[in-house]
């Protein structure tokens, strides 16, 4: 998907990839989350999102990981409150694919009576030479509103390993 298509979808509140959705509760925030994004977005996952608080105002953290042509992009949006003033801060951190050192995927399967096994959980850890802590993506069934689909984690790993250089 092109950056232009991504922006158009995000302007409607949701960007869908196979088994994954990036959601934005307030579409007027879309330009802030797009930031300097350009090129092709191959896949993306939402690790957390802003929520409506006790008042109708948004709170929390919006956290996305996107696979671009030559970069892994980590977008984090936070709303801070000081007195009556609310501020949205959005960070865009680009990790060149050339800095990816290790991609580790752990999948868990449950026994199924007639089909053998079925995916029940998946965790992906991405280590780069530019950060101390690995980036982690986890998903499991049963899937609630806050839980990432484990198949989305598997697909993120597939797209990432297809783009990351081999060492």
Tens digits of residue pLDDT in 25-48:
888 888 888 888 888 999 999 988
pLDDT value of residue 143: 58
Helix (H) or strand (E) holding 120: strand 116-128
Are 73 and 82 in contact, with CB atoms under 8 Å apart?
Answer: no
Distance CA 151, CA 112 (A): 17
The residue-averaged pLDDT of 76-97 equals 88
The residue among 69, 99, 37, 47 whose CA lies nearest residue 159 is 69
Contact between 53 and 82 under an 8 Å Cβ cutoff? The reply is no
d(C-alpha 26, C-alpha 31), whole Å: 11
pLDDT score for 167: 55
Give the containing element (helix H, strand E) for 83: none
State the pTM of this model.
0.86
């Amino acid at each position: 998907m092109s950056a232009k298509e991504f922006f158009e979808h995000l302007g409607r509140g949701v960007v869908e990839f196979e088994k994954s959705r990036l959601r934005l509760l307030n579409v007027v925030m879309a330009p802030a989350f797009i930031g300097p994004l350009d090129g092709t977005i191959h896949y993306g996952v939402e690790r957390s999102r802003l929520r409506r608080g006790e008042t109708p105002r948004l709170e929390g953290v919006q956290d996305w990981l996107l696979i671009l042509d030559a970069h892994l992009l980590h977008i984090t949006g936070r709303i801070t409150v000081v007195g009556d003033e609310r501020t949205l801060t959005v960070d865009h951190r680009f990790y060149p694919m050339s800095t990816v050192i290790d991609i580790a995927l752990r999948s868990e399967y449950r026994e199924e009576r007639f089909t053998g096994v079925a995916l029940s959980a998946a965790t992906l850890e991405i280590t780069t030479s530019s950060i101390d802590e690995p980036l982690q993506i986890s998903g499991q069934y049963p899937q609630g509103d806050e839980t990432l689909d484990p198949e989305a984690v598997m697909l993120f790993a597939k797209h990432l390993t297809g783009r990351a250089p081999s060492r």
